[in-house]
Amino acid sequence: MDPQTSVSQQQFALVYLPNKGLSVKKRRNKRFPASCVELKESKEDAIESAKASDKKYAAIVIGPSKSSEGQFIYYLQAWLES
């Protein structure tokens, strides 16, 4: 994060993980397209909205950033426990 700008910020979110069979803890990918990230107002809101059955997990993300492919992405900072 660049402390002099507000381009990418730490935010609470739900992250959609469509891949079957991968646990949240073992997932190697630490960046997600914006289409898989739903920003939330607070940590509590993210945790309460998380549903493993819908493959949506609470997290702290940093972003948005623009990838070299031109897509907006978010970087995983940490998973939040419910």
Tens of pLDDT, residue by residue over 9-58, are 899 999 998 875 555 555 566 899 999 999 999 999 999 999 989 999 99
Q: Cβ(57)–Cβ(40) under 8 Å?
A: no
2 domain residue, yes or no: no
17 domain residue, yes or no: yes
Closest alpha carbon to 56 in 5, 7, 13: 13
3 domain residue, yes or no: no
Residue 22's pLDDT is what? 53
As for how many domains the chain has, the answer is: 1
Print the domain residue range for 41: 9-79
**Would you call 34 helix, strand, or coil by DSSP?**
helix
52 domain residue, yes or no: yes
